[in-house]
Amino acid sequence: MLPQKQAEEAAIVTSGVAALNNEMEQGGGGDGKGEDEEAAHGLSMTSLLWHGGSAWDAWFSCASNQVAQVLLTLPYSFSQLGMLSGVILQLFYGLLGSWTAYLISVLYIEYRARKEKENVSFKNHVIQWFEVLDGLLGPYWKAAGLAFNCTFLLFGSVIQLIACASNIYYINDRLDKRTWTYIFGACCATSVFIPSFHNYRIWSFLGLGMTTYTAWYLTIAAFVHGQVEGVTHSGPTKLVLYFTGATNILYTFGGHAVTVEIMHAMWKPQKFKYIYLMATVYVFTLTLPSAAAMYWSFGDQLLTHSNAFSLLPHSGWRDAAVILMLIHQFITFGFASTPLYFVWEKVIGMHDTKSICLRALVRLPVVIPIWFLAIVFPFFGPINSAVGALLVSFTVYIIPSMAHMLTYRTPSARKNAAEKPPFFLPSWTAMYAVNAFVVAWVLVVGFGLGGWASLTNFVKQVDTFGLFAKCYQCPKPQQPPPFSAPGPQMQHH
């Protein structure tokens, strides 16, 4: 009976894969128009700017979402880690992040294949990571995925608001950073009008262009400025600082908490497998030169300046970089908050509503806690590290690796897998070994040591600046000269 049962399972899964491929060819991921339908409508301006579902759209989304405000904190991380560790850890975590993004894409395809055999339609439903975990491993994994993913995306959105206030302050310091957070919270709330990742085509393209400009501005400006007088490069000096910097880099290349939503917006999601790796390779050309150049130029001064803009002299080029980063942070806020909107819509039963205005209205309550937390914890660099250690470590490294091992733990599951092991690692045993290494490394180094260091640093910031800090790491106002005997210049005071 066992061989017969395995044969039946194989037939079912095969039929599911065939149906999935057929749907992908005809209609895409389920939340937008298919490629054929696009062609039928011609190359209208709306389709060019709004309806994105190609592999290029996914690449732009991944690359744009991966590096936003963290580009400005990586020089700070280099000052904590030292040059050599900074470069090595970027390369290491970039590859690690690409691997787990690949695992997530494989599990998504597996989930879709199994659901297709049950004739489940996703025409008006956006699949999310916690639903993949639920379908493959059950409700406990769903709860874990939902808790970690939503909390990570919540604080990811918070970080964008903090970054907006931190950046604009370097152009206009007449308002304090807390006031700017109020203003940009209202601006970012307009992201409720963007229905799904299918509609981020032009924004992803522009966002990547903006970070590319900013990265090369930082690199060139640092070299033009040269090394500051008496520059020192003493990092690493303390374990707390070292592992805080390491977890910020862990966070940098852990931006694939929205991988499933990006895949679902594609016309052919099976093409996603290596897109995140290609996006990471491009991101290396932005992060490595800019962080290394800034650290070379300013050295240990970066230890007290978590935003790289704060050390560069005022100029039109810097103002342009600040403005472009502000726009990109609005885009990244939308990337981080849109999955939260989906979850909220599903909770209140409004996810299949087609009215954009009605969906925007029901999404607004999600923005309020994001806004509030950005005002409570305005710590730009330290919050990145804390989120990386406590949330990113599980959300995008540990859980995907463990989920992949458990999904394919039986010979039957491996035999009938919708996606076989990749060409560069064709053995299931080798895949298990890599996954086990990822889990162990991130659990000990990322969550354990990184969590200890990040929380220690975070608590220090709270003790130093306090909650609801009005202007975190702002220059202290110059004190007036001490009172002296009145002279002619004081007569009209």
pLDDT digits (tens, 9 = 90+) for 380-420: 566 767 777 888 899 989 999 999 999 999 999 999 999 99
Written as one string, the DSSP assignment of 82-116 is: -HHHHHHHHHHHHHHHHHHHHHHHHHHHHHHHHHH
Specify whether the CB–CB gap between 159 and 384 falls below 8 A: yes
pLDDT of residue 181: 84
Domain boundaries, the chain: 51-465
The proportion of the chain whose per-residue pLDDT surpasses 70, expressed as a percent, equals: 82
Q: Does residue 13 register a pLDDT over 70?
A: no
Q: Does residue 438 register a pLDDT over 70?
A: yes
Q: Which residues, including other chains, have CB under 8 Å from residue 339's CB and lie 6 or more apart?
A: 128, 149, 150, 153, 257, 258, 261
pLDDT of residue 397: 94
Q: Which two tokens stand for residue 477?
A: 């106002």
Query: Which of 224-228, 325-329, 335-339: highest mean pLDDT?
Result: 224-228
Q: State pLDDT tens for residues 272-290.
A: 988 999 999 999 999 999 9
The radius of gyration of the chain's CA atoms, rounded to the nearest angstrom, is: 24
**Top CATH class, 51-465:** mainly alpha
Average pLDDT over residues 246-254: 85
pLDDT of residue 430: 94
Specify whether the CB–CB gap between 65 and 255 falls below 8 A: yes
Query: Which residue is it, tokens 């010979």?
Result: 411
Specify whether the CB–CB gap between 84 and 233 falls below 8 A: no
- DSSP state for residue 238 in the 8-state scheme: -
Specify whether the CB–CB gap between 69 and 163 falls below 8 A: yes
Q: Which residues, including other chains, have CB under 8 Å from residue 113's CB and lie 6 or more apart?
A: 13, 16, 17, 20, 418
Give the whole-angstrom CA distance, residue 245 versus residue 382: 9
Specify whether the CB–CB gap between 299 and 228 falls below 8 A: yes
pLDDT tier, 89 (very low <50, low <70, confident <90, very high otherwise): very high
Q: Does residue 29 register a pLDDT over 60?
A: no
pLDDT of residue 379: 63
Specify whether the CB–CB gap between 325 and 214 falls below 8 A: yes
Give the whole-angstrom CA distance, residue 255 versus residue 332: 10
CB atoms within 10 A of CB 434: 16
Distance between start and end Cα atoms, the chain: 100
